[in-house]
């Protein structure tokens, strides 16, 4: 170590004279330093470097201190790795809760339950998409959702922290009020606040205005189990639904379920899209010919912006759509890069 080498390079009588002139330690301390011990007091080393007229001594001491800190961290990591899996998990969560802060909202236990079916009234040109989006985390006051028909409005909705859900639908904007009128009271925000005595969820219902916005009259909550239930029209020929995680970290895994009304669609499929260079475990379970469950990530991974799902289906002759399914009950698909 350079600090010890510099100390040993001095004339020892001169070194001891300078050491005693600084008047802070006894001679046995100097002996330990010459043998490799690194001093703790930077103010004393600064005075000693001044007495010796050698600023390199203080610089070498700083390097030694940094190396010692790195060595301490390395030792802690090695000790952590020797713990059992259960103890490592407990230690990780304790450290994260005590020391990790994140100004952006964190959501965990994230699930999406998506159903494709016919609308409640006769309308030949649209399908109905029902989505239940659930998570454990925070909830902003006066939350809202929006359905838009152009990219500019979608970007504006993404920039709003109180917007829980935003979706672009390829429909005539003038048709949205009429279509959403058929779905009155189907936009529901429900939550159980952490520590609440009443297990029954608090519910808020919203209707969609002419701008495609559903607003909820809710208070801000720091931690709750939250479910946002939405029903909205999509063009009848729509073959897929994209779920993109927001601008916040999500501890894995995130899960999505796709259920198809077998009278109108079949062949449910799922794919993943991930941020470049990030590998995640990606699993698809085919439960029935018209239903699948997929998960992204594991308990040891954190998902973020750029990660998400693509759920797809075939719209057309129900007989063709359902009989063409011959996939095995469980399959794995490789994660995209």
pLDDT tens digits, 103-129: 444 688 899 999 999 887 666 788 999
- SS3 letters across 25-88: CCHHHHHHHHCCCCCCCHHHHHHHHHHCCCHHHHHHHHHHHHHHHHHHHHHHHHHHHCCCHHHH
Instruction: Give the mean pLDDT of the chain.
Output: 79
Q: What mean pLDDT comes out for the span 155-170? A: 87
Cα separation, 337 vs 333, whole angstroms: 12
Q: Quick one: pLDDT band at residue 320, thresholds 50, 70, 90?
A: very low
- Going by pLDDT thresholds of 50, 70 and 90, the confidence category of residue 319 is very low
> Angle 55-81/2-9 helices, nearest 10 degrees?
140
Of 163-167, 288-292, 328-332, the range with the lowest mean pLDDT is: 328-332
Q: Where is 249: in which H helix or E strand?
A: none
| Global confidence as pTM | 0.62
Give the neighbor-by-neighbor strand order of the sheet with 221-235: 202-206, 187-193, 221-235, 126-139, 107-117, 254-260, 291-296, 282-288, 330-332
In whole angstroms, how large is the CA radius of gyration of the chain? Answer: 31
Predicted pLDDT of residue 321: 41
Which is nearest to 261 in space by CA: 291, 229, 292, 231? 291
Tens digits of residue pLDDT in 11-63? 888 888 888 888 766 667 888 888 878 887 888 888 888 888 888 888 888 88
Q: Which long-range contacts (CB under 8 A, 24 or more apart) does 197-202 make?
A: 201/225, 201/227
User: What six digits make up the tokens of 293?
Assistant: 């469950």
- Distance CA(286)–CA(332), nearest Å, equals 10
CA atoms of 179 and 303, how far apart (whole Å): 35
CB of 264 within 8 A of CB of 127?
yes
Pairing of strands 265-273, 308-315: antiparallel
Residue 297: what pLDDT?
A: 80
Instruction: Write down the pLDDT at residue 323.
Output: 32
> Which two structure tokens, joined as six digits, stand for 199?
């297990």
Token pair in block for residue 132: 């239940």
């Amino acid at each position: 170590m350079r600090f010890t080498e510099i100390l040993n390079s001095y004339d020892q009588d001169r070194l001891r004279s300078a050491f005693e002139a600084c008047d802070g330690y006894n001679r046995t301390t100097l002996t330990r330093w010459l043998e490799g011990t690194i001093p703790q007091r930077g103010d004393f080393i600064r005075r000693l470097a001044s007495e010796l007229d050698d600023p390199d001594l203080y610089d070498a001491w700083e390097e030694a201190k940094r190396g010692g800190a790195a060595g301490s961290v390395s030792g802690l990591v090695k000790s952590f790795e020797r713990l059992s899996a259960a103890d490592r998990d407990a230690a990780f969560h304790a450290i994260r809760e005590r020391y990790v802060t994140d100004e952006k909202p964190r959501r965990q236990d994230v699930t999406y339950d998506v159903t494709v079916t016919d609308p409640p009234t006769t309308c030949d040109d649209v399908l109905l998409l029902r989505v239940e989006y659930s998570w454990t985390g925070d909830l902003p006051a006066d939350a809202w959702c929006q359905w838009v028909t152009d990219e500019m409005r979608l970007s504006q909705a993404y920039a709003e922290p109180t917007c829980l859900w935003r979706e672009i639908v390829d429909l005539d904007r003038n048709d949205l009020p009429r279509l959403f009128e058929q779905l009155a009271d189907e936009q529901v925000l429900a939550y159980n606040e952490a520590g609440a005595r009443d297990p029954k969820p608090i519910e808020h219902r919203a209707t969609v205005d002419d701008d495609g916005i559903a607003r909820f009259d809710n208070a801000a909550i720091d931690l709750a189990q939250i479910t946002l239930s939405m029903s909205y029209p999509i063009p009848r020929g729509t073959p897929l639904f994209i779920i993109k995680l927001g601008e916040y970290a999500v501890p894995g895994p995130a899960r999505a379920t796709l259920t198809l009304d077998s009278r109108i669609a079949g062949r449910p499929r799922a794919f993943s899209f991930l941020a470049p260079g990030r590998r995640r475990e990606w699993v698809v379970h085919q439960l029935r010919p018209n239903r699948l469950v997929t998960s992204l990530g594991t308990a040891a991974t954190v998902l973020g912006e750029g990660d998400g799902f693509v759920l797809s289906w075939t719209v057309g002759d129900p007989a063709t759509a359902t009989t063409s399914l011959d996939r095995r009950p469980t399959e794995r698909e490789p994660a995209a890069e």
